[in-house]
Amino acid sequence: MSSEPFDDWQPPDFPRVEEALSADAVVVNESGRWIVYLDVVLASGAVRRKVAEHHDERRALHAARIIERNARRCITVPQGPSQLPDAPFLPPPAPGARRLTEGQP
């Protein structure tokens, strides 16, 4: 078996990987389901992709925060703050509740 047909092989020009300039996650209510879209801006234009679907808004917002944070991690262009609402904080402990520390059972 000869390797001649593969000697002049060149990688294709397309598809080409293009660096993203920004990424934002958007949560939209569609027919009672909460859809998470990822909007990405490239030098050649913008794209929107559906990345998740949840039955309640809280789960969709949580997924959107994670997706947006991971997408922005790979972008070298400085980004503005996220447009997603802040995550709710845990409620304060109930009166009389004791906080566990290291070494306590």
Within a domain: 48: yes
Overall pTM > 0.85: no
Within a domain: 44: yes
At 9-38, the pLDDT tens digits run 776 666 667 889 999 999 999 999 999 999
Within a domain: 58: yes
Within a domain: 95: no
Within a domain: 79: no
Number of domains the chain contains:
1
Is pLDDT at 103 greater than 60 in this prediction?
A: no
**Would you say the C-alpha torsion 52, 57, 61, 62 has a positive or negative sign?**
negative
